[in-house]
Amino acid sequence: MNPDQVLNEEKPLILIVDDLPRNVQVLHQILNTGEYSFAIASDGGEALRLVKKKLPDLILLDIMMGDIDGFEVCKRLKEKPATAQIPIIFLTAKTDVEDKVRGFKLGAIDYITKPFENAEVVARVHTHIQLKKSIDMIRDYNHQLSEIVEDIKKSYRELRDSQHERINEEKRDAVKAMVVTANHEINQPLTMIQGYVDLLKQSMNSQSQSVAQKKYLDGIERAFERIMIILERFRESAAIRFTNYLPNIKMVLFDDKKKNNEPNN
């Protein structure tokens, strides 16, 4: 197998790092179900070079290697922003709690012990691949929401510079239309995220979840709920008005329908 080759761009890429060819062969046989593509590194130095060429979706990393051990590889990857988000599962024959704690402190998300149990390998890899997909989707949608906020700020700056109330009103309507459109476009992928998270939770035994897994799942659900609350406020808004955010920065406020409909005293 060519270490640099990605068999299918649409499949999650798993980087297997182990200096024993037999371990690599066993892991590849267990995981070669057609769901994933693979890259292989026989030592820590080669793993770091491969990651620079293409970011994998998951790294299965042996701890005991000749040149650079797994702990050092993990440390170097987590120190760099470009590679810090790659999930790493350690491969080890060690069962010492001290070694596991050290791995988690360096940023690893899980351990797989040797000799490998087929069902355990498949379950852990599947769980963390799906979890990464969900986290990546949340990150992408948060980026989209940030872009929407920047568009709203830009629209306001244009409103501020306008000299005619009629033009101002038209631009307020444009802002409202932008928010409604964004709300409509984002709702569908958010529903997909919720579905993925539900499927992920169903595929995992709650008793076997690691602390990191539970933390990530809880974080995704909190982020999802927060986004839904924001979109609901936008959807239920009766009017748009502006207020000071910082001395030289304004922000858009959306009035609640209920509050707007209450009689003035």
Higher pLDDT, 168 or 170: 170
| Residue pLDDT, tens place only, 33-65 | 899 999 999 999 999 999 999 999 999 999 988
3 state DSSP class of 33: coil
**For the residues 20-39, what does the mean pLDDT come to?**
94
Taking the C-alpha atoms of residue 70 and residue 103, their distance in angstroms, rounded to an integer, is 9
pLDDT value at residue 225: 80
Please, are residues 203 and 127 in contact by the beta-carbon 8 Å criterion? yes
CATH of the domain at 143: 1.10.132
Please tell me whether residues 132 and 222 are part of one structural domain: yes
CATH number of the domain to which 63 belongs? 3.40.50.2300
The identity of residue 46, as a single letter, is: E
Reduce the DSSP state of residue 91 to 3 states and report it. Answer: strand
Q: Phi, psi (5° rounding) for residue 196?
A: -65, -45
Q: Can you tell me which residue has the tokens 């992408």?
A: 140
What percent of the chain shows pLDDT beyond 70?
74
Tell me the C-alpha distance between 179 and 181, whole Å.
5
**In a shared domain, residues 203 and 80:** no
Q: Is there a domain that residue 4 lies in?
A: no
> pLDDT: is 230 or 152 the higher one?
152
Query: Is 7 part of a structural domain of the chain?
Result: no
Q: What is the pLDDT of residue 223?
A: 79
CB 80 within 8 A of CB 101: no
Domain identity same for 249 and 164: yes
How many domains does the chain fold into? Answer: 2
pLDDT by residue (tens digit) across 134-150? Answer: 888 888 888 888 888 88
Residue 265: the pLDDT is: 42
pLDDT of residue 98 exceeding 90: no
Q: How would DSSP label each residue in 135-172?
A: HHHHHHHHHHHHHHHHHHHHHHHHHHH---HHHHHHHH
Please write the tens of the pLDDT for every residue from 66-76.
889 999 999 99
The answer to whether residue 177 sits within a structural domain is: yes
pLDDT mean over 169-187: 68
pLDDT grade for 264, boundaries at 50, 70 and 90: very low
Residue 97 lies in domain: 13-116
> Based on the domain organization, do 108 and 138 belong to the same domain?
no
Which of 110-119, 188-197, 214-223 has maximum average pLDDT?
110-119
The SS3 assignment for 35 reads: coil
The one-character DSSP state at 128 is H
Domain boundary among 82, 116, 150: 116
Q: Is the dihedral of CA 38, 86, 114, 212 positive or negative?
A: negative
Which residue, of 116, 133, 157, is where some domain finishes?
116
Taking each helix axis as running N to C, give the angle between helix 211-235 and helix 165-203, from 0 to 180 degrees, rounded to the nearest 10: 150
Q: Which one-letter amino acid corresponds to residue 175? A: V
Backbone torsions φ then ψ of 254, nearest 5 degrees: -115, 115
